[in-house]
Amino acid sequence: MSQQTNWVPISVDLKKPSAARMYDYLLGGNHNFAADREFIERLIQIQPEAKRLAIMNRAFLRRAVLFMIENGIRQFLDLGSGIPTVGNVHEIAEAADPTARVVYVDNEHVAVAHSQLILEGKENAVIVHADVTRPGLVLHDEETLRVLDFSQPVGLLAVTIGHYILDEQDPVGVFAAYREALAPGSYLAVTHLTDDFAVIHGEALTREMKQSQNNVRARSRDEVLALFGDFELLEPGLVTTSRWHPERGAELPEDPEKDGLYAGVARKG
């Protein structure tokens, strides 16, 4: 892929890998640079399940959005949305209801630039360039308030973003601020890296990611549960990504621990 393209802001460091662009590469996208691809190939040597993690996570996102839509949600706030690929939140939501509204939030320059291109001319879907660890800025952004009505239920998507919020950034407090802003009947979907399972090499991943723009912090089941606060965790509870199927009788994988990500959806009473 040519690195001299019109979607690359001049401020972007092409030599420094970023989580958003690496995730794009794992999902088969083409909005990534040589540095991202080389980093992922090294990461796969440490974590061979990396591509599976990305694919299972993306599949969970779709199921969670559809579940929320089936339960009446028509507006979504997607934290750390990354680089849009096929099956974006607004595409899923608009297929169910053309009036559905989506606010994407990311601070990665390429993710924001490409999102702006895709969403150009759309009134019901926007990208907000902001740091998700500063909830006040996200929630009070002019575009956020234009698109979303916080007096009505919102689907809050925190998919593979929690593990990029380090302990010193107070992840529990960050999530609490977003939850507090939501009206009763809102939903929260979370996926989060864990090293509870032997398949995930948390310490090695953490060391490697320090060479990129994004550090990570794998967390235990109890630590991930804390991010839901007093929201009601819905069936099937906090499970691995491929095991999160709200419908009864879904065919489940034989070895779900290979997913390496906890996933859950909760509702505000």
- 19-242+256-267 — its CATH code? 3.40.50.150
pLDDT at 131: 96
Residue 261 in this model has a pLDDT that exceeds 80? yes
The encoded tokens of residue 160 equal 């593979």
Put simply, whether the predicted model's pTM sits higher than 0.85 gets the answer no
Instruction: Name residues whose C-beta falls within 8 Å of residue 207's C-beta, 6 or more positions apart in sequence.
Output: none
Q: How many residues does the chain have?
A: 269
State the average pLDDT over residues 185-189.
98
* Alpha carbon distance 146, 84 (integer Å): 21
Query: Any idea what DSSP says for residue 167?
Result: G
Q: Give the 3-state secondary structure of residue 64.
A: helix
Structural domain spans, the chain: 19-242+256-267
Report, as an integer, the average pLDDT of 193-222: 71
| Secondary element (H or E) of residue 101 | strand 101-106
pLDDT at 111: 81
Phi (first) and psi of residue 240, to 5 degrees: -75, 160
Distance CA 240, CA 212 (A): 26
